Amino acid sequence: MEKTREILVTNDDGYQARGIHVLTQMLRGYGNVTVVAPREPQSGKSVSLTLDKPMMFDVVEKTNAGDGLGSLRVYTLTGTPADCAKLGINIYLKEGRLPDLLVSGINHGSNASAASIYSGTLGAAVEGTLYGIPSVGLSINTHAEDPDFAGTLFYGGQIIDWVLADGIKRGVYLNVNIPAIPKDQIRGIRMARQGAGRWVKEFDHRVNLRGKHYFWMVGEFEDQEPVGAPDADHHLVDSGYVSIVPHRADTTDYEELERLRENWKLDR
């Protein structure tokens, strides 16, 4: 059977990270894969774009389809994950098509709770969503460089099967977080919401030998969910479940829109 699906892959740990290599190999089982990945790690870049400097581009690899695997082309860009997703989409558009799927990851580290706000992994997924491409961010809950990806590949594959079969609502992308435990200890998949939390004590203040003050960003995660709160993604992952949060690219709060219109007596 000819592989006709086209899949765009990026990440925020950079193209040399283990997670994107493992993901790419898995996705070649689904179709032809185009990787446009940041040349350097880009953690915490959110949906940021590179507007004030040029982005260098390189062709790293081109491999034909064969042995039941789709073709592979790998490019790098000195940009953010959102830049990379945009470039990948533009490469496809120049070929007169769009990819059938965008997958960003496998991120080394959780993107649950407030991490979803800062995540470059998900920033790339936002870009796919703006083009109507079903887009998934995939993360494993450890910063280890070479973790056991068996559970991630198994459950990630299950979720990609569902997305390819059923699609996702337009304007929505999925944030999938997978516990970093052996595959047979994972308790299953749960739909989830963005759990409440934030980082506190974020600044390590130092003074250099010239008397200049500077800060390193650090911080401790403060969980703002009560114990036993249902559906919070970071709690589910901590409890051994794979969490799937559907996030919206349109972040309007429609209820508050109506409430303020009435409260402030504004015309339509």
Q: Which residues between 47 and 106 bind a second copy (CB under 8 A)?
A: 47-52, 54-58, 77, 80, 82-83, 86-87, 90
Phi, psi at 105, each rounded to 5°: 145, -150
| Interaction of residue 181 with a second copy, rule CB under 8 A | no
| Interaction of residue 203 with a second copy, rule CB under 8 A | yes
Site for a second copy in 119-148 (CB under 8 A): 120, 123, 126, 130-131
Contact yes or no for 72/28 (Cβ under 8 A): yes
Contact yes or no for 169/228 (Cβ under 8 A): no
Q: Which helix (H) or strand (E) holds 188?
A: none
| Interaction of residue 209 with a second copy, rule CB under 8 A | no
Question: Which residue, 189, 131, 184, is CA-closest to 159?
Answer: 189
Instruction: List all residues 6 or more positions away from 150 whose beta carbon is below 8 Å from its beta carbon.
Output: 182, 183
Least distance CB 107 / a second copy (angstroms): 14
Least distance CB 55 / a second copy (angstroms): 5
Least distance CB 87 / a second copy (angstroms): 6
Hunting for tokens 């945009």 — which residue is that? 86
Q: Total number of residues binding a second copy (CB under 8 A)?
A: 82
Least distance CB 77 / a second copy (angstroms): 7
Q: Give the amino acid at 129.
A: T
Helix (H, G, I), strand (E, B) or coil at 118: helix
Site for a second copy in 105-124 (CB under 8 A): 114, 116-118, 120, 123
Least distance CB 181 / a second copy (angstroms): 19
| Interaction of residue 198 with a second copy, rule CB under 8 A | yes
Sole window of 14-22, 23-31, 60-68, 244-252 interacting with a second copy (rule: CB under 8 A): 244-252
Pairing of strands 189-191, 197-200: unpaired
Cα–Cα distance measured from residue 23 to residue 138, given in angstroms and rounded to the nearest whole number: 9
Least distance CB 240 / a second copy (angstroms): 13
| Interaction of residue 39 with a second copy, rule CB under 8 A | no
Give the distance between the most distant pair of CA atoms in the chain: 67
Quick one: 28 or 234, whose CB is closer to a second copy?
Answer: 234
